[in-house]
Chains A and B, each alone.
Chain A
């Protein structure tokens, strides 16, 4: 953790030196000190818009987690769905969000709904893949055990498959955190009245580049926070699957 801070300091120092000494216009690349100033001066505006975007991302990931896990379970249970739907899901990930975002705005308006749709759309796929992998990795011997104890198909799912899938779904959500932030910015670009994406969208033509960078800093900080929260959820919900995926090793 300390090493991470040191590296960050060096990077920021380099950036500061480059922005100050190099001949880059501050409208193109503001120095970290200018970003920090913007962060402080615009704190009210940024905080207000952070709350909007944070809500979109939080709910969007939750939606992706639920839908992704459900879809994975359906695909796992039905060979037909696996054959028919799984390739379509892979294909759906190739659709550039920029293309369909305006359509979603037309359908759902300027409120939170189209943002949730876009974030869920970019985030559910990693959840589906990791959950399916976890389901496929269930020990066949454990199934045999459940059979010999007279378990029904449903009980096999409830006692063995569902608990085995849970850590997979959470890993998927952790992967999804980063793309959720990008998805949220895209969604707000496509049509919005608030949010950090909206702040960036307005700041750049006004040549308030430092403010746009301040918004980016907040987005990055929020992504880190969300990742930590998901790691915590993992620790609480699946204590048996402790792995060294967190920053602080035990």
Chain B
């Protein structure tokens, strides 16, 4: 996992000053109501948070609380209704892997490189070394439907990483996996982020996942999302879900969630 990402050289960067962080100040957002005359639905209500470069922040909250909306705001897919949001270029890894069925695994991983203008061979060559490092060796030519859920998720993460953007917004990356694969992928992501450090916003509703992976846990309220609590995780890595300190943090987070 020592391969550097060549995509970072090619991708547009606005981080010349080294600002790889994300800054939200009193950000609000409401989805327009469905149907004629329906009232807008408040999704994010006055969220302020600051993420430093290469920091991993987990956003934890009940289902449907507006976590995904928050990530889409950071990625520029939505504009805040009010408040200010400044962020280095951010890329979204959506909840579903959304691998394109007409491309093989390696082409899917290299999609961002192709979009940034690389030819097919060059893009594949750049993505190839990471395939080995991510435990996907031998599956380059596999079609997405031939891959297991965990592998699809790895390809999707690789695709996100190869966009070259300094901020990763991961929206419940393991939400659709079974418990066993989920634990395995959690450790895998932890390792991947140690070797390819990025500013990371990780949305999850699994507090243990948050405690194992993040430097900081931000607990959100039910819709509309507000910051309910901020928990620092000053623990050495690699961490395990069974570590007493992690278990204690889990309790704290669950308490903040009101569970």
Contacts and interface: CB of A to CB of B under 8 A. Distances in A.
Interface of A: 139, 141-142, 144-151, 155, 159-160, 163, 238-241
A142 B94 CA distance: 9
A144 B92 contact: yes
B91 A148 contact: yes
A247 B92 CA distance: 42
A163 B100 contact: yes
Given A141-B98, A148-B92, 4 more contacts: A142-B98, A142-B100, A150-B12, A238-B102
Contacts of B96: 141
A145 B115 contact: no
Contacts, number: 50
Contact of A144 (B77, B100, B102, B144): B77
A89 to B, nearest CB: 28
B164 to A, nearest CB: 10
A141 B94 contact: yes
Q: State the main secondary structure of chain A at its contact with B.
A: helix
Contacts of B141: none
A234 to B, nearest CB: 13
B116 interface: yes
B29 to A, nearest CB: 16
Given A145-B94, A148-B77, A155 B115 contact: yes
Nearest to B91: A148
Contacts of B163: 148-150
A239 B115 contact: no
Contacts of A139: 98
Nearest to A167: B102
B111 interface: yes
A68 B114 CA distance: 29
A141 B163 CA distance: 17
A12 to B, nearest CB: 42
B112 A149 contact: yes
B138 interface: no
Contact of A240 (B12, B101, B115): B101
